[in-house]
Amino acid sequence: MFEFTWPWAFVLLPLPWLLAKLKPVQHTASARLRMPSFANLAALAPKAVQQNRSMRWLESLIWLLLVVAAANPNWLDEPIALPNEGRDIMLAVDLSGSMTEQDMEYQGRYIDRLSVVKAVLGEFIEQRQGDRLGLILFGDTAFLQTPLTRDLNTVSQMLSEAQIGLVGRATAIGDALGLAVKRFSQKQQSNRVLILLTDGQNTAGNLSPDDALILAREEGIKVYTVGVGSDGLGGFSLFGMGGVGGGSIDEATLKHISKETGGLYFRAKDVAGLQQIYQELDKLEPVSDEAQTFRPQLALFYWPLGGALLLITLAVLLKALRGMRQEV
């Protein structure tokens, strides 16, 4: 489909004609009436009239092309339907110092907990086509890294760039939950799902987990909590072989939060434990949005603009050649 973004620009078409009509006739005292011979007049008149007429047509065409370019012509492709159903999922990832513990087995070797979370959540994000995802990172406090969006590549990129100590080395579970409540409260239609991944217990922040839980229940947020960390049977850490294990995880609090909000608690001792949340989240009822469509646009203004510039160049050359001939 072809259309003009600013069709009102065509009202400028008669502007040169109006200016020519309104232009006052100038009379000078030194003006003299020259009477060429009838023979010369008969020879020059047809040629001069034809040249002037050609130049007027050229100038009119240039003005027409400039007005068409100013109207901003566009070509619109067929409408593309955008997904109008999906889940609103906020991911809250712990960046406390204990996430450096290398007690998680992944692809035949033990690596730190945050690397496993990044690897598994990266796959999870890729499978969330049609969903809106957001990312919260928390340590001494919590901050919003990515708001709810369907741009999954950005969410995945922000997660991959997260580093231990970015927001301190403590664990503010209450602040992370409270921040998710604040973000979801700005959504009118949302199924409000939070996935909170941590390997410890609340040791910092301005909001306690119990106070944040009250807010989450009032807003109808379903929280899936994930305790990350092995039982200390493998790997190593700054504390020696086997790491600190999973004893530091406040499982009682995490279970209480998930139960009170209608979610589930997962203990992720390995990769398989993290991957269990896939099946559960697929069972959630998608939230419906108003149908949206997108029509790709192709700008075409540069074609008439380019044509006008070429004709202007041609007109300048013709006038220069005419002047040179008259001098000769």
Average confidence (pLDDT) over 308-321: 87
Whether the per-residue pLDDT at 214 is higher than 80: the answer is yes
CA 13 to chain centre: 39
Tell me what pLDDT residue 242 has: 40
Whether the per-residue pLDDT at 212 is higher than 50: the answer is yes
Angle (CA) 253-187-134 rounded to 5° is: 60
Share in percent of the chain as helix, strand, coil (round to 5): 45, 20, 35
Nearest CA to 146 among 130, 124, 128, 162? Answer: 162
Tell me what pLDDT residue 189 has: 60
Q: Cα Rg for the chain, rounded, in angstroms?
A: 36
Whether the per-residue pLDDT at 239 is higher than 60: the answer is no
The reply to whether the predicted model has a pTM over 0.85 is no
12-26, 131-145, 211-225: which has the minimum mean pLDDT?
12-26
**More reliable by pLDDT, 225 or 235:** 225
Whether the per-residue pLDDT at 98 is higher than 50: the answer is yes
Residue type (1 letter), 100: T
Query: Which H helix or E strand runs over 176?
Result: helix 173-184
**More reliable by pLDDT, 140 or 52:** 140
Range 82-288 has CATH code 3.30.420.40: no
- With a CB cutoff of 8 Å and minimum separation 6, the contacts of 71 are 4, 5, 6, 7, 9, 10, 301
Q: Are strands 240-241 and 287-288 parallel, antiparallel or unpaired?
A: unpaired
Average confidence (pLDDT) over 134-139: 94
Tell me what pLDDT residue 86 has: 66
Residue type (1 letter), 33: L
Average confidence (pLDDT) over 204-220: 92
Residue type (1 letter), 189: Q
**DSSP one-letter string for 202-235:** --SSSS-HHHHHHHHHHHT-EEEEEEE---SSS-
25-34, 100-109, 123-132, 276-285: which has the minimum mean pLDDT?
25-34
Tell me what pLDDT residue 192 has: 83
Quickly state the pLDDT bin for 166 (edges 50, 70, 90): confident
Whether the per-residue pLDDT at 85 is higher than 60: the answer is no
Q: Can you tell me the distance from the alpha carbon of 198 to that of 134, in angstroms, rounded to the nearest whole number?
A: 17
Q: Can you tell me the distance from the alpha carbon of 7 to that of 73, in angstroms, rounded to the nearest whole number?
A: 9
Average confidence (pLDDT) over 201-224: 91
Report the share of the chain in percent with pLDDT over 70: 78
- The ranges assigned to domains in the chain are 2-22+42-78+295-327, 82-288
Whether the per-residue pLDDT at 154 is higher than 90: the answer is yes
Highest mean pLDDT among 63-67, 127-131, 287-291: 63-67
Q: What are 56's two structure tokens?
A: 């007027």
43-57, 177-191, 266-280: which has the minimum mean pLDDT?
43-57
Average confidence (pLDDT) over 289-309: 78
**DSSP one-letter string for 270-314:** SHHHHHHHHHHHHTSPPEE---EEE--EEE-THHHHHHHHHHHHH
Find where tokens 């002047």 sit. 323
Quickly state the pLDDT bin for 79 (edges 50, 70, 90): confident
Q: How far apart are the first and last CA of the chain?
A: 53
Q: Can you tell me the distance from the alpha carbon of 59 to that of 53, in angstroms, rounded to the nearest whole number?
A: 10
Write the pLDDT tens digit of every residue in 246-282: 447 889 999 999 999 998 888 877 777 677 777 776 6
Whether the per-residue pLDDT at 40 is higher than 60: the answer is no
Q: Is 235 left (phi over 0), alpha (psi -120 to 50) or beta?
A: left
Tell me what pLDDT residue 75 has: 86
Tell me what pLDDT residue 293 has: 66
Tell me what pLDDT residue 237 has: 43
